Amino acid sequence: MSDHENQNETATAVGRAVIYLRVSSSQQADKDYDPEGFSIPAQRDACTRKAEAINTVVVEEFVDRGESAKTANRAGLQALLSRLEEGDITHVVCHKVDRLARSRADDIQIVMKIRQHGAQLVSATENIDESPSGLLLHGIMSSIAEFYSRNLATEIMKGTTQKAKTGGTPFRAPLGYLNTREWVDGREIRTITIDPERAPLVKLAFELYATGDYSLSELAGLLEARGLRSRPSRRKIAKTLDTNRLSAILRNDYYIGVVRYAGAVNPGRHQPLVEHALFHKVQELLEARRQAGERNWRNHHYLRGSLVCAQCGRRLFFNRARGRRGGLYDYLVCGGRHTGICTQPYHRADAIEQAVERHYTTIQLTDEERDRIRAAVHKHLHALAKVASKETARARAELTRLDNEERKLLNSHYADTISPHIYAEEQERVRAERAAAENLLSRYQLNEDETKRALETALELTNDIQAAYLNADPLERRLLNQAFFKHLEIDTEDIANDELNPPFAQLHALAALTRPQKRPQKGRTPAPAKAGGSYLPLMVDLNGLEPGHNGPATTDG
């Protein structure tokens, strides 16, 4: 249409109109399958024709895409009401009154604002005007819209509640799972599947937190470095997890196969991502830290993760509190104290630090003990090398035989001279025998020089380890504690016992076997003396002096 024709049309029109368009989901905006009626283009066409029929010209349109009419707080609607304040609009045209509001109260308020600014509401598909019959019809249609909205919500709630009762998931699956649509016999089936990208990292979060070595902030940082992000959507980009979101994930029992909905708890049909024992251990840790008022993401201590309670076996947690007379004081508390299973008192952090420093004297070895250990290990390595050469040769011969057998089996399969069932059985047998041979080969593969170097490193650490510990900074102390001890048992601000990590456990067991009888060291019961014989049970791989832990070593002090 030319500018001249537009001017003529404007001149002949007796009113100026704005039109309002809305759909409840963004997918319906430009498509014709809107279950509530029409798409945006269809509504626009109907409203434009209605404006022409009442001799008005459309000067502007306002659109809400993907917005519910349950509330009047919509950007497009509010912009329309603001536009009416200019006072030059005579008509507001909508496709149906339910496009404007689904609540009778909202409908009254919106219509009153339209009238206050000298405009009139017009429906493109309903006979609504300012006449008595038009006002009556408007009231009826508005009430019907409200009834439809409330009834629809009730029916949806009824259906989703029934779905939850049968183990379904009537909501967006949490991180680690995917809402999946499948077609079975021409029917769409909505299921929950494991997210191959995020599920392993969610499971890792439970495993690492259960060790007690990570605060929520540390764990969030580690997961961020591993690439864990939230699922992106049409409106939101993928984001890293903050501590609140991570805490909610760790507390969500959906991961053990439970569906919570509308106040009810039901076993879900989805595959659990976390074992029950692991989940409950995480809940105990979260609850213990919450009740203790611990802010573990702010307070770091190099002994964290190395201490357990001698009474109940739970981990000790570090906390920092403000005293009544001012100042801060550090203490350690057993996680079982706040669940009522332990009576150990709070421990002063400085007292425990000093007890650990003293305890390092118990893992030192004398020069004579180190010489006897070195001689025993070298003798064993020499004997082991003779046995290893024979065993490794036999394992390699077995692997060669299995390679040839597998080739023959494969040729028979290709030539169709063996049934698929027999082929599968034979293939499984060869696979099992190969695994056994490879395991035997790995056990007897011996690098004598590397083993001796590892032995010397371990023996050197037992020379004056207490002096090294006293001179170490907090990070170095943490690594030393993790290297030497699986845990230290605390009883009334002292070390009651310990459990050493390999290879130091084996070295001290050898020292106990070779040293003359004397009084046991505090905190450790030595192995019984052994007269002659082999040290084979104690001879394990002496490589690997890195800290013993279940996850990546942290570097906080």
Residue 12: predicted pLDDT? 58
The SS3 call for residue 328 is: strand
Residue 308 CB neighbours (<10 A): 24
Helix (H, G, I), strand (E, B) or coil at 421: helix
What does the pLDDT read at residue 255?
93
Cβ–Cβ < 8 Å for 331, 349: yes
Edge-to-edge, what's the strand order for the sheet holding 120-123? 56-65, 15-23, 91-94, 120-123
Give dist(CA 16, CA 9) in Å, integer: 11
Low-confidence ranges of the chain (pLDDT < 70): 1-13, 25-38, 68-72, 129-164, 183-188, 288-300, 326, 410, 413-414, 443-448, 458, 461-462, 475, 514-557
Structure confidence by residue, pLDDT tens digits, 386-445: 777 777 888 888 888 888 887 887 678 667 787 877 877 887 788 788 778 877 777 666
| Architecture of the domain spanning 3-153 | 3-Layer(aba) Sandwich (3.40)
Under 8 Å between Cβ of 39 and 29: yes
As a whole number of angstroms, the distance between CA 55 and CA 20 comes to 18
Name the DSSP class of 338. Answer: G
Which residues have C-beta within 8 Å of that of residue 157, sequence separation ≥ 6?
262
**Torsions phi, psi for 547 (to 5 deg):** -60, 140
Kindly list the distances between the CA atom of residue 406 and the CA atoms of 14, 401, 414, 418, in Å, as whole numbers in the listed order. 91, 9, 12, 13
Beta pairing class for 177-184 and 56-65: unpaired
Contact 219, 246 (CB under 8 A): yes
pLDDT of res. 36: 41
Distance (Å, whole) CA 58 – CA 223: 54
Q: Would you list the domain boundaries of the chain?
A: 3-153, 177-181+190-287, 367-453, 463-538
In this prediction, residue 321 carries a pLDDT of: 80
Q: What amino acid is encoded at 477 in this protein?
A: R
- Taking residue 403's Cβ as centre, other Cβ atoms within 10 Å add up to 11
Judge contact between 92 and 61, C-beta under 8 A.
Answer: no
Distances (CA, A) of 185 to 182, 189, 270: 10, 10, 21
* Structure-token match 């996850």, residue found: 551
Cis peptide before 503 (omega within 30 of 0): yes
Kindly calculate the radius of gyration of the chain based on its CA atoms and give it in whole angstroms.
38
DSSP string, 269-315: SSPPSS-HHHHHHHHHHHHHHHHTT--TTT---TTTTTEEETTT-PB
- CATH code: domain 177-181+190-287 is 3.90.1750.20
Q: Hey, how many other C-beta atoms are within 10 angstroms of the C-beta on 536? A: 10
Which element (helix H / strand E) includes 480? Answer: helix 474-484
Model confidence, pTM: 0.38
pLDDT number for residue 532: 35
Rounded CA-CA distance 333/309 in Å is: 9
CA distance 257 to 416: 45
